[in-house]
Homo-oligomer: A and B are copies of this chain.
Amino acid sequence: MIRRRKIAIVGLGLIGGSLGKSLGNLHYTGKIIGVDANQNHCDKAIELGIVEECMNLEDAVNAVDVIVLATPVNSIVKILPIILDKVEDQVVFDVGSTKKEIIDSVASHPKRGRFVACHPMSGTEFSGPEAAIEGLFKDSYNVICNSDDSDLDALTIVKSLCEDLGMKLLYQDAEAHDTHVAYVSHISHISAFALALTVLNKEQSEQQIFQLASGGFESSVRLAKSNPQTWAPIFAQNRDAVLDVLDEHITVLSQFRTLIIKKDWEVFGEMMGKANEIKRILNNDN
C-alpha cells in the first residue's frame, strides 16, 4: 500500500499554489499544510482549497513528511539551512528558478542529503495564490540538479511525486542549469520588461500609442507583467550568466541597428532567415 504523505508548501504564490491545487487529489498526497508570511495568502489559499490549513514554519516542518520551498529565491537561501537544521528524515525540495546559490547555501550541511534541488519549467506571468492553476506542471520538465548529493530515498520520493503530477524529469549540473535558464527564460523576461518600458515611455508623449497594439505585441511583452519581487532575486542570483546573455542580445540588436542604418536589407533578411530556424524548436504549432 502506498503511504499518503503529508506535505508542507512554504510560499503560497503562483508555483506553490499550483502545486497545492495539483497535488490535492493525487493518490500520493495526504494532508497539505501551507506556510506563508503573508496572512492574506494563507486565508486565500485555504479559501481556494490549495491547502487544508496554515501553520508557522517550525510547526509545519514537524508535522509533515515533505517540505516544498516555493518562496522567492532570495528567501529560499535563507530558509533552506534553517529547515535542514530541523529535519530528521523529512524530504525538502525547492522549486526556485536558480540553482547554484541555493545548493551552495547548504553544501556542507549535515542534512544536505534530505534536500533535492528542483526547477519545474512551468509558470505564468501572474502571481499570488489566485493565479494558481491545477495541472500547471503536467507534461513540463522538472530539472533536478546535483542529484548525487541527495539521499536516494529523498530522490525517489520527489521523482514519484513528479510522476504523479505528470512531469518529465531532467538531471543537470547546477551551473549548467543556471546558464541554460539565462538563455531560455531570464533573458526573455528582461527583454519583455524593456520592451514594455520602451513603449510606456513613448506613451507619455503619444497617448494613443497602444491603440494599434495587437496579438504580436501582447505575446512579446506578456512576461513584463511578472512580479519584480520574484524576478529581482532571480537576476541577482544568476547575475553573471544573465549579464553574458544580455550582452549577446544587445550585440545582435546592435547588428540589426547597423544594418538598418546602412539599409542593408539583404543581410538583414538573411539574419531573419536564420532566426526563422527557431521553428525547429517551437514545433508545437504549424
- Residues on A facing B (Cβ under 8 Å): 121-126, 131, 140-141, 143, 170, 177, 179-181, 183-185, 187-202, 206, 208-226, 228-229, 231-233, 235-236, 239, 242-243, 245-250, 252-254, 256-257, 260-261, 263, 265, 268-279, 281-282, 284, 286
Copies in the complex: 2
11 inter-chain pairs at a CB distance below 8 angstroms, sorted by A residue, are A185-B216, A187-B199, A193-B272, A194-B256, A198-B252, A225-B286, A235-B268, A239-B260, A242-B260, A246-B253, A246-B256
Cβ of B198 and Cβ of A232 under 8 Å apart?
A: no
CA distance A185 to B41 in the complex (A): 37
Question: Roughly how many angstroms separate A95 CA and B281 CA in the complex, as a whole number?
Answer: 31
Chain B residue nearest to A119 (CB atoms) is B212
Closest residue of chain B to A279, judged by CB?
B225
Most buried by B among A202, A209, A220: A220
Is the Cβ of A228 less than 8 Å from the Cβ of B261?
A: no
